Amino acid sequence: MLVDLKDGRCRSCDSQLEIVDADDISLEVRCTECDETYRVETDAFSDGCMTYYVGFMTERMEGGDDNDA
């Protein structure tokens, strides 16, 4: 799930982030440019958790993401 550039960017190179994992307290993001991966808070993108955290969890529960092993 890609993060809109207006909501957040890679802390290293300012490029677009993709959400690759989530748990109860954090999101794991990966930069689409430099591949850096790190964890941020669930509301790190100032969306009240609703857009990215809930969106990612919903997507995963629906099986829309085939990346999981």
* Among the residue ranges 18-26, 29-37, 45-53, 58-66, the one whose residues contact Zn ion (CB under 5 A): 29-37
**What sign has the CA pseudo-torsion 57, 60, 62, 65?**
positive
10 is an interface residue for Zn ion by CB under 5 A: yes
13 interacts with Zn ion by CB under 5 A:
yes
Query: In whole angstroms, how close is the CB of 6 to Zn ion at the nearest point?
Result: 17
**Which one among 33, 43, 47, 59 touches Zn ion, defined by CB under 5 A?**
33
Task: Report yes or no: 1 and 13 within 8 Å, Cβ to Cβ.
Answer: no
Is the separation of the CB atoms in 16 and 33 below 8 Å? Answer: yes
